[in-house]
Amino acid sequence: MIQTLVAALMWLLVASLLVLRRRRTERSITYAALTISIAMTLNVSSIYTAVDAVLGATNIATLLADGALMIGLFFLARGIMKAGEYRPGLVRVALGLPALLISLLGIAVTFLLIDRGSTTTIFMIDLGAQPAAATYSMVVFTYCGIVVAAMGILAGRQYRLSDGAYRIPMLLLLLGSTCGVALCLVVLIMDVAHVVGDLDLMDAAGTSYGPLYLLTFVFLCTGLAGQPAVRYAQGRARSVRTASLVRQLDPMWRRATVVRPGLSQTEASASSMKNLETRLHREVVEIRDAMIDPRIHFGVTKHDRALLERAEGHLLGVTDSTSTRQGPERGRA
């Protein structure tokens, strides 16, 4: 049940990223979400059984699912790292391609040493007593734990540098990373306990596996979807405010262009005025030009001046939360 829910959450994340990030050229996070979705889907018992049957019914689907998860986390963390300039040496090593390739080679070799038998949907419960199986699982979750920890370091840094609503996705990613590291530690304890025969410890540690597994993906999914959602919501809010300011400023601008025709009266500029941000900027400039031109008389009221100042502030991003004030390290994954 948990595997099905997590798989559904991941595919929902993929769909939301395809919609909210469709105009962005950086696709690492979208590709990562897609790869992890495939891995989580393969963990659904009915799908796992069907896929493994096609592959020979020797649990090769486990290797495919774990490999896809590792590759997906690699691209996910790399995508988050690209969002900022903070890239400590240890983080770069943890998220480097050599670390991924060595880990993939490690699970491939240890997987071949496991006496896998026929298809089982409880792979580690059935086979975890084998040293090779325990080593296989430990390689997978050690790599995942290191990558998720590095991702948490980056998310924590971006949380401190972000402002307003942009802090929420970073906080969710940080919580997801924390739960992910705890999950990996629990699995490592279970692996060691199983291979040494301490089943009581394995069962005790296993009680936290399900909740941590679910929380990890809930926090990561909402955090990853939250960033483009915040950008989209703030972009829409800015567009609405821009349109409102254009409507309010239009009468004053028309009076200004009557006494002092501006560039917006030309045919070339008229076409660019269809963009509301461009139009608002041009109206503000031409109104200001009319106000300071000593050759003409253009009177404005106190209300007109306040409106003009609001429009100028809007163009400068003063009233637009943090979207125009964030630098390259401000959490734009």
Q: How far apart are CA 61 and CA 39, in angstroms?
A: 9
- The token pair at 133 is 């199986």
Query: How crowded is residue 33: how many other Cβ atoms within 10 Å of its Cβ?
Result: 28
CA atoms of 261 and 296, how far apart (whole Å): 11
Q: How far apart are CA 104 and CA 63, in angstroms?
A: 10
Place of tokens 């929902």: 12
**pLDDT for residue 324 is more than 70:** no
Distance CA 114, CA 305 (A): 78
Tokens 């080679």 belong to which residue? 105
Instruction: Provide the mean pLDDT of the chain.
Output: 86
Closest CA to 80 of 68, 66, 94, 67: 94
Q: What are phi and psi of 121, to 5 degrees?
A: -90, 0
pLDDT in tens, 198-244: 999 999 999 999 999 999 999 999 988 887 788 888 888 888 999 99
Percentage of the chain modeled with pLDDT above 90: 52
Number of H helices, E strands in the chain: 14, 0
Q: How confident is the model at residue 264 (pLDDT cuts 50, 70, 90)?
A: low
Answer whether 241's CB lies under 8 Å from 321's CB.
no
Torsions phi, psi of 92, nearest 5? -65, -40
Interatomic CA distance for residues 99 and 94, integer angstroms = 6
- How many C-beta atoms lie closer than 10 Å to residue 105's C-beta? 11
Distance CA 183, CA 187 (A): 6
Q: What is the pLDDT of residues 279-317, one digit of tens each?
A: 889 889 989 888 888 888 888 889 989 999 999 999 887
pLDDT, tens only, 4-18: 999 998 999 888 888
What is the spatial distance between Cα 231 and Cα 247, in angstroms, rounded to a whole number?
Answer: 24
Length of the chain: 333
For residue 222 the two structure tokens come to 């909402």
